[in-house]
Amino acid sequence: MSSDKTQEKKPSFLESLQPREEWDTTDLKKATFWVLIFNSFLNGLLYGVFGLTGYPGFVTFLAVSYFVIGSYWKSYLGINISEFGGPMDFAGEGIGPSVSIFLVRQYQILLL
C-alpha cells in the first residue's frame, strides 16, 4: 500500500544553520543552540590549550559567546533578533549546556 501523502523533507543539520528568507522561532532557537554548542567546544579547546582559567576565562567565554551569536544573527542570517523576543530569550536557553561543554572540554585539555 502506498501513501498519497507527500512528506516534507526535513533540513539537514548544516542546512538548518544556513540563512533563509523566513525563520520561525523554534528553528531559530535550535540554530542558536547549535551555534552556542559549537562555540563552546572550540573555546573550551582553545582556553585549555592556552591555560586561560578562572574568572577571566569564564567572563571572556561568556563575552565571546554573546558576540558570536550576535554576529550569527545580524551578519550571517541578516535578521533582527528583537522581532523574535530579544537576545536574552534565545541565548538564555542554550547558555547552560554550552557552559557545561566549555568547562568539561577546557579541563579535559588542561589535564592532558
pLDDT at position 11 is 66
**Digit-coded pLDDT (tens) for 23-41:** 888 888 888 899 999 999 9
pTM of the model: 0.82
Return the residue matching grid coordinates 567565554. Answer: 61
DSSP secondary structure letter of residue 83 = G
* pLDDT higher than threshold 80 for residue 13: no
pLDDT at position 99 is 94
pLDDT at position 68 is 92
